[in-house]
Structures are given as structure tokens and as C-alpha cells.
Structure 1
Amino acid sequence: MALSRRSTLSGAALGVLLLAGAGLATALPAAADPPAPVAAGGQPVASIIVGYKPGSAKARDLASAAKDATAKAHGRALSAERRLATGGVVVGLGSKDARDAAAVIAAYKADPDVDYVEADQMMHPLADPTDTDYAQQWDLFEATAGMNVPGAWATSTGAGVTVAVIDTGYVAHSDVAGNIVAGYDFITSSSAARDGNGRDNNPADEGDWVATAGECGTDANGNPVPSKPEDSSWHGTHVAGTIAAVTNNAKGIAGIAYNAKVQPVRVLGKCGGATSDIADAITWASGGTVAGVPANPTPAKVINMSLGGSGACSVTYQNAINAAVARGTTVVVAAGNSNVDVSGFNPANCNNVITVAASDRAGNRAFYSNFGAKIDITAPGGEVRLETDAPGSRTTPADGIYSTLNGGLTTPGAESYKTYMGTSMAAPHVAGLVALIAAKTTLTPAQIETAIKNNARALPGTCTGGCGSGLADATATLLAVVPAPGKYFENLTDVAIPDNTTVESSIVVSGVTGNAPTTLKVGVDIKHTYRGDLIVSLVAPDGSVYLLEDFVNSDSTANVAKTYTVNASSEVANGTWKLRVQDVASQDTGKIDAWNLTF
């Protein structure tokens, strides 16, 4: 008999977004009394994010929030622009005067209905591009300080995994195109996006060039931001190539997870990108709901964010990241390129992320890489310095990270390859490794992070200040988490789970001697909006049923990502095993995403 129940909706934490200028904005924790908010590069805050306490009218109704903004304006042109997926309200300041921003933030902080308020800061690509064109991928295979990737390819190439690259978007490149899936453009500002509109379903990189000094505003001292014109970086395309460039196609480079898919999610445009846009991008990329944006047809199991700004981790970021991780998405973030403790840079200092520092070709911490206790792991980021940049410390272009790019100085031109250096280049190495793991296991994001850390090797060079668990090692990690061939079986075919139905997914086991073990491992990855509808069982080849878990009336959360241990020693191992899922209620549906057996 079908059950009747009303889905329980968890109270979303009210996220606060802050829009700072072109530099790296300083996050403003609610408990602090902030100075005039400006970006680390000096650009003033243009909007803020306000989170109202649950139960207040302003938390429920955007119109009430708009009236509240008007009341706090004191002659300033404030506007409640929209509500974020994380619950916060973006409030435009109508001014780029840092003193105005500080006064408005203080007014909100004095309101007992306000849970938090923070700047909607601008994020920027974390790379230092060079002008070389050497096609050397030492970062994948060199024994000294490469990431030991080729040995992992015998186990996994990332098939079936989508990696969201939250960045500048994607400019067409024939060495990546075969692995691109539909993404989205989350840049709200049409001028920053350069596409004539706001958010849309076209994540094409329109270029992040800045034509004149000061085009992004001025800093607190009146200095122009930027200090000089800048060409387009095509940053997201470089990151995408490292993760999943098409391989074995007789051209270009090899991607780390070369059978994975890349989902370009555009958040960085002219002068950077707003925290509010990036937070919504995290939500959407991981399969969450963002108002006014169509559902993501291919939610990502991995998110790469090679971007950042200064200051503490904002409530907005943490809310979005926590929700993404709860959906089963691993979030990888670049540590930053300021050669200081990463604790002062977000979102690298947020919880529930894998924060990546950069190493050079000799295995030292790269001269620019941030460091500290919040670093989880280090990966190749490269080093390219001219004699004029660092006398006595010259490196060659081949010592950078070589990947896909575009030759256009402003708008897209001919496709190309180029070496960049930066923690932006290190992070996609780890995102690619996560994709290799996710393709062959049902490990949670926390378990994936632990596996990468536990199987890292010591940096062959030096690291001052803290480089996490060491240098990521792809082969060692894959060998540790994926069972030996012949004893591991999986089914990656999606099986829909409609309301009030029972469905099954099969695995044919062969080549195993005797009966199943007393510790048969059953890995289950089910995507479902309310797992309290579900009863999950394992069916042996002879029809015997082993109950794995009955979630009905005991669990109101989403998804099932667990490994169960079953004593199946009475069962002959070889034959057809089935995962049976019963949905016993209405309203919420899902799918068997993947499952596996380890003998």
C-alpha cells in the first residue's frame, strides 16, 4: 500500500552575498565591525548579501526585503535585487563609495532580524599566464614531481563523471570539445558578461580583457583598478584541458580524466565575478535548484574552482558548498597565489572543500602558492619566471603547466596551447584525480579527500608554511581505493525510480571461485529527493533477498551514497545479482545512479 506523506523541506540557511569590485574582496563576518569594504586589489564593494533570521517576514518575502533596504538607505539608492538559492538577498548599493558601503553594512548589522551581512565580493582567476608554447606535460608523468597519472589510467579514465569548471566559461577548442557537456552562464551583469544579457544557457567565454586602467574602479587610495590594460585569459579553457582534454587523438595534450565530461559554468567576466553568482553556480552545478534557472541535466560529481578572493569564508559560500557536498559533489578549490597563509583567502579557507597548493617542477612549493594549515594537498602548478622577474631564479616556459588556450587578445581567435602557472593550474590536477576515483567508487566527498591525502607522497623539494599531506599521487590513490581486477563488478547505467514502484539493476558476476564472502561489499549510489520513500535490498542469483536498509519513516534526507557489508557466504558468487529499490510513496522520485559489488 502506498504511503501518503508530505515532503519535509529543510530550512535553508539564509545566505549572504557580497559584491566587491575587481580586486579580491574581503569577506565581512557578521560578528565583526568591518572597515570600509574594498577588494584586496582595491575595488570597492558594489553590493552586499543579507541573510535574515528564519521567521522574519523579510526572510520569506523579497518585497519586504526591498522595503527594508529602502528604510536603511538614508538617501542611498539601495535595491533588493534577488534572492539566492542559499536564501540570502542581494542588495545593490547604488554606489562604489567604500564609505557608503560601510554605513549600509553597519545599518543592517544593527537590525535584530538580520542573521548576517557580507560583501558580494568579486572573484578572479588564480593564474599567472606566460607566453610559452612547449607541449610538455611533466606534471603528469615525471618521476620527481609529476602526479603519477599514467599508472592510474589502467584503472580509471573518468568515464561517467561530469566535472563542473566554475570559471570564465569555455572558448571552443578541438582538443576539448568532444568532452564538453551543456553548462550555464551565471554572470548577472550584462556588461561584465559582454554578451548583451544577464544569465543564460550559453557559457561561452566572451573574454575578460580590460581595455583601460581603472575600468573596474579605484581602490581606497584612489589608484586605478586594474593599474594597466589586461588581455583575456581564457582561463576556464586552460583549466578544462588539464582535467579532460581528449586523449589518444594524435594531437595536443592528454587530460587527466580524459573520458570524463567537463561542464563549463561561467561566473568570471570583466573585472572578475560576484560571490552571489558563484554561490548559485555551485548550487546548480551540484544538482540543486536556482530560481529562474533550468535544472542541470548532468549534475557534476566534481566542482573545480580556480578562483578566489581575500577574507574569511562567507556564510554564502559555506552554505552553497555544504549543500553541494551533501548532494555527493566533491568541491576542489585553488589555494591562491599570494605566498601567504591561505586562511585569509576564500573560498579556499571554507570547510568541506579540498584546498590545493601548487608545486614547481622540482617538487618545491611554488614561490607564489599560498600555504598553511588549511591546505589539504599539493599538486603541480608550475613555475615560469624570467630573469627580470626573479634574478637568479630563472625557469623555462616548459616548467609551467601546458594546456589548451586561445590566441585572441580580447575576443576569441585561433585555438592554441600555452603554459600557465598558478594554483589555478594545480586545482584541476586534483579535480581530475577526483573524477578518476568517482568513476570507479561510490566514496563520499569526505572519503575521497581522505583517500587522496592518505596516498600522497612527500614533496621531493621544500615547503615552508604547510603544504597539506604532500604531493598528490594518482596511481597510488587509485590502487588503494579500487579493488583488484576480477573481484570488483559495477553497473553505471541509470535506472529511474518512479513513485510507488519497485525497480532493479543487475550485475553479472563471473570468474569468482566458490561462494560469496562473509563481508561482501555492496556500494550504492542512489539519487533521490527524499530517501524516506525507499527500501533498498540486494537479491542473490538464487533469489534470496538481503535487506540493506529501510529508510521509510526514518530518514527525510536526499540520496543514498553508502557501502554496505553483507554476509552472503551461503550464496554462489557467480551469477546475476540485483539491487532492488522500492519506492513506497508519492511526490519524490530519483534513480539508481550506480552500484557495485566487491568480493
Structure 2
Amino acid sequence: MNGSRRIRISLLAATATALLCAGTATSVAAPLPAPGAQDTGPAAAAGSASVERLIVGYKSRAAEARSNDAAAKDAEAKGEKAGESLDFDRRLGTGAALVDLGAELGKADTADVMAAFRADPDVAYVVQDTRMYATAVQPNDTEYSRQWDLFEATAGMNVPGAWDKATGEGVKVAVIDTGYVAHSDLAANVIAGYDFISDSFMANDGGGRDSNAADPGDWMNRGECGTDQFGQPVPARDTNNSWHGTHVAGTIAATTGNSKGIAGIAYNATVQPVRVLGKCGGTTADIIDAITWASGGSVQGVPANPNPADVINMSLGGGGACDSGTQSAINGAVSRGTTVVVAAGNSNANAANFNPASCSNVISVAASDREGNRAAYSNYGSVVDITAPGGETSVSSANGIWSTLNTGTRSVGSENYVAYQGTSMAAPHIAGLAALMNQASPSMTPAQIESSIKTNARTLPGSCSGGCGAGLANATAAVGAGSGEPVPPTGNVFTNSANVNIPDNSTVTSSIPVTSISGNAPTALKVAVDIKHTYRGDLRIELVAPNGGSTQLKATSSSDSADNVITTYTVDASAVAASGTWKLRVTDIYSGDTGYIDSWSLTF
């Protein structure tokens, strides 16, 4: 990696930090609820508080990437250089090192420590271990009402028509959230999960990580989570238990046809509670490990997940654009075949400034109200992929999203049903839909599931300012229960799975011979690419047709420091004969980062 690019990266990182602080200043408490509702916890603004830990991703060739002892020695050395005492804490599921700063540092001291890591050519990225919070907005009214969000013609998601084709049978959905409180309308579909909260205070259950994902509650007293940058207590007032994860899980897979309660969208799917949110929210490090474990990856010190998820739902978020550590975990999950669904956020702001809403390889979900408008609280923007019902209880609890809950305010009470509103409620609608699609077409990749959901969306019946993605999700069309069976892409698939190394400052090609296809290639030739690389911004990717013509699929970028390129491109190749030898040409334009073409395919 040359020096000029490293300078640019440092400047970009400094800018991102400034933006995070600026965003914090406008969101001191949790995203403001609509009138008549109460918020569920402290804000993403708590990210402006002192930093306690860093997440350091080392390049694959570095000793620190493989050895905990080496990572510990490196942390100690970096601390001495910055005049601080640093300790290696543990290895995250992505392979990154979690580094304890030893004491809460101010922004200037933290910046010095991070600069020491960034200056090391063996470090791929370093990010702060920040807190994220549940993105629901909790109303006061607890009266049960109809699930307009599933079937109403105006702005429902048209779910009943999809049940003719799929109910989620055999599909596993991980809900990365607050855990699970027992509810008879959901219990039959809940399987064993894991508690990833490593801080015993935040866990609120008497310990740290363990195999018990039960939700003990996340109530908080005023000021229990510290203060914001203005010295105001966080939270600003006492809060009660949200039982957020159980509400989310009910939308996805509550038991249906049992003469009680609500209907889950994928009511024969299983739900695995993966606990990362407790008192004062949750940390990036715990969420990274949860994503990795839930999708079947390995996390040091944690038993392997016997039920890797087909779909992950994350109705959580914090301020700031997607960090490299979280992106790396998401990329790993998607590479293992897991569809990742995230909430866009509740700040009525551009979702590009929220994490994980702005991450790549996720389905980012905005919320709509009962009339089909973008909900007043919902985030928006170009990173939003789709909109789903999230409700607005400011009008009436009947206009919220009804799901499974508990009456307990400071301990576990009795089960009930409550209407919530939020992008937290919209996201599980899409997670449930993805589960239906996974059962109906098990060979679909996460990219194909996302594409089908977006392609088959309908225009929002109301208004949307700022960008609501492809529109309002239409379950019947996406699953294929309606006319046209619009899932998944069909045609002849040609694949090359032979690994091809990509050395520094070089160009490599991988070939696929295509035979027995008459005429020209289609106007929408699908090019699925899986490239493992420690700095994907180094790469230019081109598709070379049999006649020698080329199409650029991806340009280089000095600011894109994330790992890997795992995506599907669509190319208009209608002017080229289909049969012949097609090539994927990959050029690495910098030194210091390497990788390989894992596989790629063409779908005609």
C-alpha cells in the first residue's frame, strides 16, 4: 500500500469521526418517537461518550491475524507509542482483535491510539467498539388489534397470497436483538440461541456470555448509562422493559392457526434468539460475533451454532456510517448463504449516516404507515432497499404493528400483545418474507432474494420524500404465488470455482466456456462474483466477452477499505454471441493487499 493512499485514508477516517460527532449532537436521546409514544432506550448518541475498546482488523498475512500473543504484543506496543495502556481482550468471530484501552479515553487520546494502528501496514482497519440500540418506538396503548400490515389492500404487504406457496417450513431465522421472553404464541417455533452480551452490567442477568438467550429485561434508571456530550443523563428518564426481540420474533414466526394471538409471516420457520442488546444497548464487538456465529461462522470460546441461519434480522442501529468490522462480519455471513435484513433507523434522516443500515450486502428496510406513506420517523435515502409496514401509533394503536410481548416493566410479567411502531417492526416483515422465499426456492442466493423482493415491490400508495427504495414489498409477487412466478432467476448457469490468486499490481483472468446457447446473450446477463480480498478498493473488475469486448463491473476506489466483493452484476450483453469463452478480468492496482477469485458464474 503506497503512502499517498494511506494519507487519504487517514483523512477520510478523521472526517467520518467528525460526522459521527456531528450526528450525535442532533440526536441526544433515542430517535424521537411520534406524539403519544415513548422511546425504548438511550440514543445512538451515546456513541459520543468516551471510547473503551477498539476493533482492529489485521491483514491475512500478518502474525497478529493468526496469533493472540502477537496481537497482544502489538496492542502493548501501540499503547506505548500513543502513551496509553492497551490490552488485547479477545478475538472476534471475523478474526479481528478487540483491544481494551484500559480506561475511558477522550476523543483526542483515542484518535492518537487509532492513528498508531492505522500507520501499521499490517492493519486493514481499526474502528471504535460503539453501542447500538433497538430501533423500535413503543406506544402506550396495549389493546390488541388486527394485523392490517399483512393483508389490507391499501398498504398491507400482501402476505396471505404467499402462504399458498410457502410458510417458512425448514427455514431458520436468527433474531439478533434483546433475546426472548417466553410467549405461548411463539414458543413452538423458538430454538436455542446464545447470549453474546459480554458486559455483565449490560447483560442484566448476573453474568456475561452464555448459552441462555432469555431476555431478563432492559429497563434503565435515569442517567444509568452515563451522560451525553452535553452532560445530560442517558437515558433522560427512567425506562421500562421493551421485550424488543420478542416483538420482532412474533412478526416473523408467531404460531398461526392456533385460535389465539397473531399470525407470523413465516409461521412455520424457526426463530433463534441471539442476544446482543441489554441495559444501555449493545456493542459493535458483540454484534460482530453474533452475526458471525448466527450465520455458521466460528467465534473463539463459543460452541459452534448447530442451526446456522438462512436469514438474520437486525432491528438495531447506531449513528455513523457502516464500519469495516461490521461490514466484514456481514460479508462473511452472506458468503455463507445468509440473507441479512436490517432496520433503516428512526431518526427521519438519511440512512447513509447509520450503522448497519448503510452496510453493503444487507437489505435495508424503511417503514411505512397504514396509508402507505413513509412513516414520519423512518430514515430514508439511497441506501434504503425496500419499504415495509412499520406503523404509526400516534394516530391510534390500531395503526401500529401488533406482536408478542410481556407485561413486565422491571421483571418478567405475563404474556400479552402490544402495538409498536418503528423500522424495527418493518425489518422483520422483510425477514419473514425472505424466509418464505428461501423455502419456496432454496437455491436462491441472498443477492437473488434481495433482487426479487425489490423487483416485485409495488409503488408506495402514499408519499415518500428522500427515497424509500424499490417501494412497498409485495409478498405474494416476491414469493411467486401470483401470476408469472417471479422467482428466482432462471436459465443456464455456468460456473468457475477454481481459485485464482490476485497478486499485488497485477491483472489476472478466469475463464468460463459457454456452449449450447444459441443466439446472443441476454439484455440482463447475471454475473455473480465472489472475490476474497483484504482491500476491495484496490480492485477493478471487468467482464470480457467472447468477441474481446469488455464491460467494467467495478472501478477502483481509494476510500473503499472493506473486505471482499461478493455480489451479482447485471450486464446488457445482447450485442454479443452467447457461446464462446467469457472471462472475468481482475486488476489489483496497489501493493500491500492480496486476495483471490473464489468463484464466479454467468446466468443466461
Please give the range of the TM-score, normalised by the shorter of the 2 chains. 0.7 to 0.9
* Matched residue, 2:289: 280
Residue 363 of structure 1, aligned match among 343, 367, 372: 372
What SS does the aligned partner of 1:373 have?
Answer: coil
Give CA-to-partner distance per residue, 1:334-393, whole Å, 9 cap, x none. Answer: 0000001110011111111000000000000000000001111000000012xxxxxxxx
Distance 1:404 1:198, change over 3 A: same
Residue 62 of structure 2, aligned match among 38, 56, 59: 56
Q: Structure 2 CA distance, aligned partners of 1:44 and 1:113?
A: 27
Q: Structure 1 CA distance, aligned partners of 2:350 and 2:490?
A: 45
Structure 1 counterpart of 2:376, which letter?
Answer: F
* Matched residue, 1:400: 400
Q: Structure 1 CA distance, aligned partners of 2:254 and 2:402?
A: 12
Q: Structure 1 CA distance, aligned partners of 2:74 and 2:362?
A: 34
Q: Structure 1 CA distance, aligned partners of 2:12 and 2:260?
A: 49
What SS does the aligned partner of 1:95 have?
Answer: strand
Q: Structure 1 CA distance, aligned partners of 2:339 and 2:131?
A: 23
Q: Structure 2 CA distance, aligned partners of 1:127 and 1:332?
A: 15
* Matched residue, 1:333: 342
Give CA-to-partner distance per residue, 1:236-269, whole Å, 9 cap, x none. Answer: 0000000000011011000000011101000111
Structure 2 counterpart of 1:144, which letter?
Answer: T
Q: Structure 2 CA distance, aligned partners of 1:383 and 1:321?
A: 30
Q: Structure 1 CA distance, aligned partners of 2:490 and 2:158?
A: 31
Structure 2 counterpart of 1:188, which letter?
Answer: S
More helix by percentage = 2
* Matched residue, 2:247: 238
Matched, 1:447 2:456: no
What SS does the aligned partner of 1:94 have?
Answer: strand
Q: Structure 1 CA distance, aligned partners of 2:137 and 2:439?
A: 31
Matched, 1:175 2:207: no
Q: Structure 1 CA distance, aligned partners of 2:490 and 2:392?
A: 47
Give CA-to-partner distance per residue, 1:15-58, whole Å, 9 cap, x none. Answer: xxxxxxxxxxxx99757574597852443322111122333332
Q: Structure 2 CA distance, aligned partners of 1:229 and 1:445?
A: 40
Q: Structure 2 CA distance, aligned partners of 1:418 and 1:241?
A: 11
What SS does the aligned partner of 1:93 have?
Answer: strand
Structure 1 counterpart of 2:444, which letter?
Answer: L
Residue 319 of structure 2, aligned match among 293, 300, 310: 310
Alignment check: 8 A CA contact 1:44 1:217 kept: no
Give CA-to-partner distance per residue, 1:173-225, whole Å, 9 cap, x none. Answer: 00000000111111111121122222111100111111x32211222222222
Alignment check: 8 A CA contact 2:476 2:482 kept: no
Alignment of 1:84-95 (within 5 A): 84-95=92-103
Give CA-to-partner distance per residue, 1:381-438, whole Å, 9 cap, x none. Answer: 00012xxxxxxxxx01111101000111122111111000000000000000000110
* Matched residue, 1:98: 106
Q: Structure 1 CA distance, aligned partners of 2:269 and 2:389?
A: 20
Q: Structure 2 CA distance, aligned partners of 1:520 and 1:359?
A: 32
Q: Structure 2 CA distance, aligned partners of 1:336 and 1:298?
A: 28
Alignment check: 8 A CA contact 2:219 2:241 kept: yes
TM-score by length of 1: 0.73
Distance 1:446 1:33, change over 3 A: closer
Alignment of 1:74-85 (within 5 A): 76-85=84-93
Q: Structure 1 CA distance, aligned partners of 2:490 and 2:275?
A: 43
The percentage of counterpart residues that share the same residue type is 61
Alignment of 1:448-597 (within 5 A): 448-479=449-480
Q: Which has the larger radius of gyration?
A: 1
Alignment check: 8 A CA contact 2:391 2:401 kept: yes
Alignment check: 8 A CA contact 2:433 2:475 kept: yes
Alignment check: 8 A CA contact 1:43 1:225 kept: no
Alignment of 1:16-55 (within 5 A): 30=13, 32=15, 34-35=17-18, 40-41=45-46, 42-55=48-61
TM-score by length of 2: 0.72
Alignment of 1:114-263 (within 5 A): 114-132=123-141, 133-210=143-220, 212-263=221-272
Distance 1:29 1:209, change over 3 A: farther
Q: Structure 1 CA distance, aligned partners of 2:62 and 2:171?
A: 41
Alignment check: 8 A CA contact 2:222 2:233 kept: yes
Distance 1:438 1:450, change over 3 A: same
Structure 2 counterpart of 1:201, which letter?
Answer: S
Structure 2 spans left out of the alignment, 5+ residues = 1-9, 25-43, 500-530, 533-567, 569-604
Give CA-to-partner distance per residue, 1:256-288, whole Å, 9 cap, x none. Answer: 000111010001111111111111111111111
- Deviation, 1:93, is 1.8
Runs of 4+ deviating beyond 6 Å: 480-484, 519-523
- Deviation, 1:303, is 0.4
